Structure 1
Amino acid sequence: MSEFAGRNVFVAGASSGINLAIAHAFGAAGARVTVLSRSADKIEAAAAGLRDAGVDAQGIACDVRDYAGLEAAFAAARERHGALDVVVSGAAGNFLAPALKVSANAFKTVVDIDLLGTYNVFRASFDHLVKPGASLIAITAGQAVHPMSFQVHACAAKAGVNMVTKCLALEWGPAGVRVNAISPGPIADTEGMKRLADPERESAIKRRLALRDYGTKGDIAEAALYLSSGAAKYVTGTILNVDGGSDLGDASADALSA
């Protein structure tokens, strides 16, 4: 029997993409799952898909910028499933734009969804966690540590997410709560790749990766399972790169043939 059988998982930003894949992975491993996103129709469809797969799942519509709404969401999740073993915060917003085209409001919107949203999810979850033993996971990005043109808003937000992860790991470790983050690289079939990478540039992007290919949503889901498993019981405050080596820099030079 999987160690996740009967455990309770909450995934924010899970109407589609990587976060929904994480929810399905935990559900397939036997967990009960609550998924949250701001669109009522989309999150109910996501929850229905989980239930169709045999998962005890519910969907809750809430914007991660709404702290009071999140408090109610976590209370509802606990009422249905019990105290939470795993919380994943993955809601995000992004777009490509030069800084001179990013208004103050647009910058604030991305920071509020990514950074404030991550803090809100984790802070609102604390009183509903299994303690000791809970695993909190933020979904961050390479922009947190690598400055990128046309990404000032996302770089600022994700850098903050990394520091929230590390600071909460310090503060909440004594309660037995582990806090980590996953930093995905280029992941196929995601909204982020559709927005940030022109399909015509796919081969050039892959040539720069040490592993020469995009990752899958399943790769990120497996990392989330690992970070919440007994195998990672001594891991906290870690930013886990699951990126095919993209954090290492440009690997397009063929050193093996040199």
Structure 2
Amino acid sequence: MESTIIAPPPPSSLAVFREDLFKGKVLFCTGGGSGICKDMTEAVLRHGANAVIVGRKLERLNEAAKELATATGRKVLAVQADVREPKQLQDAVTKTIKEFGRIDFVICGAAGNFLAPIEGLSENAFKTVISIDLLGTYNTVKATLPYIREARGSYIHVSATLHYKGIWDKNSQLGVVNQWVFLGIPHQAHVSAAKAGVDALSAVIAVEEGPRGVRSNVIAPGPIADTEGVKRLVQDSIYGKHPGKALPLQRFGEKADISNATVFLFSGAANYITGQIMVVDGGEIHTGLGAIRSYPEIVLKPLPKL
């Protein structure tokens, strides 16, 4: 049987794109105080932009802003706002315009998640995630759209791959999926519903705002190492024992993989791309969760010639 080849780690975006790619540009990022969105923000800063990071916890935001500014030499403004509250977002946008005079890029990344079966999921818990992820994205777009139109700018909405999965039919003799997209991941009804809505919202924005020079795309991260999502969702799965084995590229993603996708989608190289969902997952949606039995052995083991 052939040995597997693990995909190399992601390069720095600076090794691929010009350092001054976003000089003079301004990023507005919800959820930018931590996690993947913080790394996405840092990548845009490293290419010359300034940024505003928005979140509910001001102490965390201030700390993140200081770290980002120190690491990149760019200006980073921390603004406290709850994306569920339109007035707070409007105030955050006003502060952004007062400080920088423009908004070119928006990352809608504020999100909430936890594990819960539908049976144990309260209406309030479901509503909370929908309000943060989906309504929060809508509120962010509404608050920033006049300035994104003016700049002919771009939106990136952070989704997930939870609602794209196929499920392996254990009764199948072939050991393959019996159906494919939009089936479901256990204990993720709330976030799957929210992210499916985010995907649809982005597509509508792309259609309505494209004639005004505005682009809207989605980045859907797969399993990303060193994130809470991976720690919570895969610790008891096959991934916990053999990280990356069930992915075609044989490794979990890194935050830099998402950062590189961010720089690309905001760059001029993507100026003809809108209304799309960029899945960054090493091919996991095609093979993950047992979609193909004994992957990758099934494709590496020699078969008789016919």
Q: Distance in 1 between matches of 2:106 and 2:196?
A: 20
The correspondence for 1:183, drawn from 206, 212, 220, is 220
| 1:257 matched residue in structure 2 | 301
Q: Distance in 2 between matches of 1:211 and 1:164?
A: 30
Structure 1 or 2, whichever has the larger Rg, is 2
Deviation at 1:15, TM superposition (A): 1.2
Q: Distance in 2 between matches of 1:205 and 1:172?
A: 41
Note the alpha carbon deviations across 1:73-114, whole angstroms, 9 max, x for none: 011111111211100011111111111010011010111111
| 1:126 matched residue in structure 2 | 145
Say which SS state the counterpart of residue 131 (structure 1) adopts: helix
The correspondence for 1:194, drawn from 225, 228, 231, is 231
Unaligned 5+ runs, structure 1: none
Say which SS state the counterpart of residue 21 (structure 1) adopts: helix
Deviation at 1:246, TM superposition (A): 1.1
TM-score (norm 2): 0.81
Identical aligned pairs, as a percentage?
A: 40
| 1:52 matched residue in structure 2 | 70
- Note if 1:161 corresponds to 2:198: yes
Note the alpha carbon deviations across 1:184-239, whole angstroms, 9 max, x for none: 01001112222222178423452211111111111101101100100000000000
The correspondence for 1:107, drawn from 126, 144, 153, is 126
TM-score (norm 1): 0.95
More helix by share: 1
The correspondence for 2:273, drawn from 219, 235, 240, is 235
| Aligned counterparts, 1:21-100, within 5 A | 21-53=39-71, 54-100=73-119
RMSD: 1.5
| 1:218 matched residue in structure 2 | 256
Unaligned 5+ runs, structure 2: 1-18, 166-183
Say which SS state the counterpart of residue 245 (structure 2) adopts: helix
Deviation at 1:3, TM superposition (A): 1.9
| 1:138 matched residue in structure 2 | 157
Q: Does the 8 Å CA contact 2:129/2:194 hold for their aligned counterparts?
A: yes
Q: Residues 205, 111 of structure 1: CA spacing in aligned structure 2 closer, same or farther, 3 A cutoff?
A: farther
Note the alpha carbon deviations across 1:107-160, whole angstroms, 9 max, x for none: 101111111111111111111225353010000001233311111111111100
Q: Which amino acid aligns with 2:56?
A: R
